[in-house]
Structure 1
Amino acid sequence: MMSLATKLVPEVVKNLIPYQSARRIGGQGHIWLNANELEQSERYGESESYNRYPDFLPQLIEQAYLDYSGSDFLTGRALQCETLAVRGADEAIDLLIRTFCQPGEDQIVICPPTYAMYEFCADSIALKTVKVPLTDDFGLDVAAVKPHLKNSKILFLCSPNNPTGNVIPQEDIVTLLEAGKASTLVVVDEAYIEFAPQTSVAHLIADYPNLVVIRTLSKAFGLASIRVGFVLADKSVMDYVARLIPPYPIADPSALIAQKALQEEGLAAMRRQANTLIAIRDGFVEAVSALPFVAQVYPSSTNFVLVRFKTDDCLYDYLLQKGIVTRNQSHDPRLARCVRISIGTQASMAETLQALKDYPFDPKKITTV
Structure 2
Amino acid sequence: MSAILSLVREDLREFAGYSSARRAGVTGNVWLNANESAWRNPADAGLGANRYPDPQPAALRARLGELYGVRAEQVLVGRGSDEAIDLLVRALCVPGRDAVVISPPVFGMYAVSARLQGAPLVEVPLRDTEAGFASDLNAMADAAVSNGAKLVFVCSPANPTGQAIPPADLLALARRLAGRCLVVVDEAYGEYSDQPSVAGFIDQQPNLAVLRTLSKAHALAAARIGCLLAAPELVAVLRNCQAPYPLPSPCVQLALAGLSEPALVQTRSRVITVRAERERLQHELPGVPGVRRVYASQGNYILVRFDDAGAAFARLLAAGVVVRDMRASPQLGDALRISVGSPAENDAMLAALRAGRAAA
Q: What is the TM-score of this pair, normalised by structure 1?
A: 0.92
Counterpart CA distance in 1 for 2:196 and 2:296 is 15
Match for residue 23 of structure 2?
24
Report how far residue 14 of structure 1 moved: 1.6
Matched, 1:154 2:151: yes
Q: CA deviation at 1:80?
A: 9.1
Structure 2 vs 1, CA of residues 348 and 48 (structure 1 numbering), >3 Å: closer, same or farther?
Answer: closer
Instruction: Report the alpha carbon displacement of residue 352 of structure 1 after superposing the two structures with TM.
Output: 0.7
Q: 1:181 is matched with which residue: 178, 183, 187?
A: 178
Per the alignment, do residues 176 and 306 of structure 1 end up closer, same or farther by CA in structure 2, a change over 3 Å counting? Answer: same
The one-letter amino acid of 2:139's match is A
The structural deviation recorded for 1:105 is 2.1
Could you tell which deviates more after superposition, 192-201 or 110-119? 192-201
| Inter-partner Cα distance in structure 2 for 1:308 and 1:20 | 51
Cα distance in 1, alignment partners of residues 92 and 168 from structure 2: 26
> How far off its partner does 1:79 sit?
6.1
Choose the corresponding residue for 1:216, options 193, 210, 213.
213
**Structure 2 residue aligned with 1:145:** 140
What is the aligned counterpart of 1:293 among 276, 290, 293? 290
> Structure 1: how far apart are the matches of 2:212 and 2:336?
25
| Contact 1:140–1:172 (CA under 8 A) maintained in structure 2 | no
Q: Cα gap change, 1:42/1:241 in structure 2, threshold over 3 Å: closer, same or farther? A: closer
Structure 2 counterpart of 1:149, which letter? A
Shift of 1:201: 1.1
* Aligned counterparts, 1:3-18, within 5 A: 3-18=2-17
Cα shift at 1:3: 2.2
Tell me whether 166-175 or 306-315 shows the greater mean CA deviation.
Answer: 306-315
The alignment status of 1:57 with 2:49, answered yes or no, reads: no
Identical columns (%): 38
Q: Distance in 2 between matches of 1:81 and 1:173?
A: 23
Aligned pairs for 1:161-240 within 5 A: 161-196=158-193, 198-240=195-237
The corresponding residue for 2:97 is 105
Report the CA distance shift for 1:29/1:311 in structure 2 as closer, same or farther (over 3 A): closer
Distance 1:168 1:267 in 2: 25
Number of residues of Structure 1 aligned to a counterpart in Structure 2: 355
2:118 maps to which residue?
A: 126
The answer for the alignment partner of 1:251 in structure 2 is 248
Give SS of 2:11's match: helix
How far 1:172 sits from its partner (Å)? 2.3
Question: 1:303 offset after TM fit, Å?
Answer: 1.0
**Cα separation, 1, equivalents of 2:9 and 2:139:** 27
In 1, the alpha carbon distance for the partners of 2:182 and 2:116 equals 20
1:310 aligns to 2:313 (yes or no): no
Q: Separation in 2 of the partners of 1:90 and 1:80?
A: 20
Q: Is the 8 A contact 1:81 1:205 kept in 2?
A: no
For residues 84-143 of structure 1, what are the alpha-carbon distances to aligned partners after superposition, in whole Å with 9 as ceiling and x for unaligned? 111100001001111111122211100011100000000001111000001113111123
Q: Contact 1:324–1:352 at 8 Å: present in 2 too? A: yes
Q: Out of 239, 242, 252, which is 1:242 matched to? A: 239
Q: CA deviation at 1:297?
A: 1.0
**C-alpha displacement at 1:149, in angstroms?**
2.1
SS at match of 2:55: coil
Q: Contact between 1:297 and 1:308, CA under 8 Å: does it hold in 2?
A: yes
Q: Is the 1:37–1:51 contact (alpha carbons within 8 Å) kept by the matching residues of 2?
A: yes
Matched letter for residue 201 of structure 2: L
In structure 2, the gaps of 5 or more residues are none
Q: 1:44 to 1:211 in 2, by over 3 A?
A: same
In the aligned structure 2, how far is the partner of 1:304 from the partner of 1:49? Answer: 38
For 1:131, give the aligned amino acid. Answer: E
Please point out which of 264, 276, 284 is paired with 2:281: 284
Tell me the alpha carbon deviations over residues 243-292 of structure 1, each in whole angstroms, 9 at most, x when there is no partner. 11221121100000011111111211211111111112211221112124
The CA distance in 2 between the partners of 1:198 and 1:157, in whole Å, is 14
Amino acid at match of 2:110: Y
TM-score normalised by L of structure 2: 0.94
Give 1:87's aligned residue.
79
Unaligned runs of 5+ in 1: 71-77, 364-369
**Alpha-carbon deviation of 1:196?**
1.4
Q: Distance in 1 between matches of 2:309 and 2:226?
A: 39
Alignment CA distance shift 1:361-1:102 (3 Å): farther
| SS of equivalent to 1:280 | helix
- For structure 1, which segment, 324-333 or 87-96, has the greater mean C-alpha deviation from structure 2 after superposition? 324-333
What residue is the counterpart of 1:37 in the other structure? 36
Deviations 1:52-73 (A, max 9, x none): 1001221110100101112xxx
- Counterpart in the other structure of 1:46: 45
Cα distance in 2 for partners of 1:149, 1:269 equals 41
Tell me the amino acid that sits aligned with residue 174 of structure 1.
L
Q: CA deviation at 1:319?
A: 1.3
Partner Cα distance (1:321, 1:135) in 2: 33
